[in-house]
Copies of this chain bind each other. A is one copy, B any other.
Amino acid sequence: MSAYDELMAFTRETEALASVAGRTGWDQETMMPAGAAEMRGEEMAALESVLHARRGDPRIGGWLDAAEAPDEVGAAQLRLIRRSHARATKVPARLAVELARVTSVAQGEWAAARRGEDWAGFAPRLAQIVALKQEEGAALAAGGDAYDALLQDYEPGTTAAEIATLFDALRPPLVDLRARILDSAATAPKLSGEFDEAAQMALSEKLAAAFGYDFTRGRIDKAVHPFSSGSGTDVRITTRTDPADPFNCFYSTIHEVGHATYEQKVDPAYLLTPLGAGASMGVHESQSRIYENQLGRSRAFTTWLFHRMQESFGDLRIGGPEEFFAAVNRVHSGFIRTEADEVHYNLHVMLRFDLERALIAGDLAVADLPGAWNDRFAADFGVAVDKPSNGVLQDVHWSVGLFGYFPTYALGNVYAGCLHQALRRDIPDLDAQMEEGDLSAALDWLARNLQRHGSRFEPRDTIARACGTEPGAEPLLAYLEEKFAAIYAL
C-alpha cells in the first residue's frame, strides 16, 4: 500500500469511530435513561481518548510526509487530515478526555438546571467548562487568540475580527428594520388554537419528504431540542411539538432537514472520509436556514403549506394564504433564539458572540454572566429577561463546550442570503413550483452546486463557488427588507 492508501485506511477507521461517537451523542439526547449520565460520561471520555490518540498518531506525520495525493480530491483529504492532526497534537490528551467527560455530564445537568431555573446550581459547572475551554483555546492558539483558535472547530479560516466586521455591517440595518416594523401600524396575525400533536408529526413528515429527506438513511424522533446528527447513510433529526404552536414543529423539522439532507447528499465516494461531511457549521447553517426561511417561509411555499394545514387541522381562522404568510413571518420580540423571527434572530446571535468572546478572554466571569446577558438583552430587545430559562440557560451550547459555535448561525444566514440570490437567478419560476409544494429544482440546485462537495472546499469557497460571487451581507439584508416591507407595509 502507498503512504496515501495507508493513511486513508487509517483515517477511514477513525471516521467510523467518530460516527459512533456522534451517534452516542444522539442517543444521549433521545434515548438514554436518566440514570446513565455518569456512565455515559465515561463512555464519551473513552471514545475521545481513542479518537484523540488516533488523530494525533505519530504515524500520520510520516504518512503525510510521504503521501502523494492521486488527484484534487485526494489533496483535499490530505489538507483536512493535516489540520486534524495538527489540532490533536496541540491539545493534551488529558484535557481532551476531561472535556468529553465533563461536557457529557454537563448536558443533563444543564437540562435539569434549565427546568428548575437553577442558575446558581449550574454556574460552577459552567465555570469549570469555561476554564477547560480557555485552556484548550490557549493550547490551540499557541500564542495567538484563544477564541479565534476555538472558532476553527466550527468555521475554519474565519476570525472573530472578520465576524465582528460582518456583524457591524448587519447590525444597524437590522436594528433599523426592527424599529420600523415595531413602529408600523400594520400587524401580522397570530395563529391560535390547539393543534393535535400526532397530526403535527404527520404533516412534519410530509414536509421532510418535500424537502428531500431520505427516510431510508435517517429517522425523525421527538426531542426537547431539535437537532440533526450523523453523516453518510445515517443522518437523524429530531423535532418537537407544541399543541399551541405547530409552526415550531414544522419549521424545526424543515431546519433540521436542511442540515440532514446536506449530509445525505454529499458525494457517496466521500463516505467515512474527512470530505464526507458538511464544510463548516456556517455552511451547514446556510442550508438549514435557506430551507427554513428563504424557501420554507416564502410566500409561495406558505401558500402550499396553508392548504396542507387546512387539510390536517380544518379551519385555521386565518383569512387566506396572504394572511397565513404574514402569520408565519410575524415579527415579535421574544426571549428564545430558536423561536426568533428572521429580523430578531441575528441580534440573539450577536449577543452570544460578544458574551462568549468575553468569557473566553477572561473579561467576563461566569458569575457576572446573567447580569451581562440581561443588560444586553434589555438594550437589544427592549424586554427584561424574567427567568434563566429565557436568558442565560436557554441554549445548551456553552454547557457542552461549544464556544465559537454561535456566530456560525449568523454566518449561515448571510450565506443563505447569497445562495438564495443565486438560486432565484438560476430558477426564475421557483415561486410557481413552490406554490405546488415542488422544491425539487431548488433542492437539486443546492445538491449540485454545494451539498455534494461536502468538505472538499474551504467553507467560504464552498459558498463562493455555488453563488459565483464572494459572499457578503447585502443579499440577506435586501431579502429581509423586501420581505418585511411587504408584510408590514413599510
Binding site for B on A (CB under 8 A): 12-14, 16-17, 19-20, 23-24, 27, 31-36, 38-40, 42-43, 45-47, 49-50, 214-219, 232-234, 236, 271-272
Contacts and interface: CB of A to CB of B under 8 A. Distances in A.
B20 A43 contact: yes
Nearest to A51: B50
A421 to B, nearest CB: 34
A221 B187 CA distance: 47
A20 B20 contact: yes
B13 A49 contact: yes
Contacts of A233: 33, 35-36, 38-39
Contacts of A271: 39
Contacts of A33: 215-219, 233-234, 236
A16 B35 contact: no
27 contacts: A13-B49, A14-B46, A16-B39, A16-B42, A16-B47, A17-B46, A17-B50, A19-B39, A19-B43, A20-B20, A20-B24, A24-B24, A31-B219, A33-B217, A33-B218, A33-B219, A33-B234, A34-B216, A35-B214, A35-B216, A35-B217, A35-B234, A36-B217, A36-B233, A39-B232, A39-B272, A42-B272
Nearest to A97: B13
A439 to B, nearest CB: 21
Contact of A31 (B12, B24, B31, B232): B31
- The quantity of this chain's copies bound in the complex is 2
Contacts of A42: 12, 16, 272
Contact of A46 (B20, B35, B39, B43): B20
A4 B32 CA distance: 32
A253 B387 CA distance: 43
B13 A23 contact: no
A40 B216 contact: no
B47 A20 contact: yes
Given A13-B46, A33-B217, 20 more contacts: A14-B46, A16-B39, A16-B45, A16-B47, A17-B46, A17-B47, A17-B50, A20-B24, A20-B47, A23-B24, A33-B215, A33-B218, A33-B236, A35-B216, A35-B217, A35-B233, A39-B233, A39-B272, A40-B234, A50-B50
Nearest to A53: B50
Q: Which of A50, A216, A217 has the most CB of B within 10 A?
A: A50
Contacts of A232: 36, 39
A218 B33 CA distance: 6
A38 B234 CA distance: 10
A14 to B, nearest CB: 8
A272 B45 CA distance: 13
A17 B48 CA distance: 10
Nearest to A14: B46
The 6 closest A-B pairs by CB, nearest first: A36-B234, A16-B46, A35-B217, A35-B216, A36-B233, A13-B46
A268 to B, nearest CB: 10
B16 A43 contact: yes
Contacts of A45: 13, 16
Contacts of A16: 39, 42-43, 45-47
Most buried by B among A23, A31, A36, A40: A36
A220 to B, nearest CB: 10
A471 to B, nearest CB: 32
A36 B215 CA distance: 11
A109 to B, nearest CB: 16
A24 B16 CA distance: 12
Contacts of A50: 17, 50
Nearest to A39: B233
A24 B234 CA distance: 13
A14 B27 CA distance: 20
A55 to B, nearest CB: 14
A190 to B, nearest CB: 35
A232 B35 CA distance: 10
A217 B215 CA distance: 30
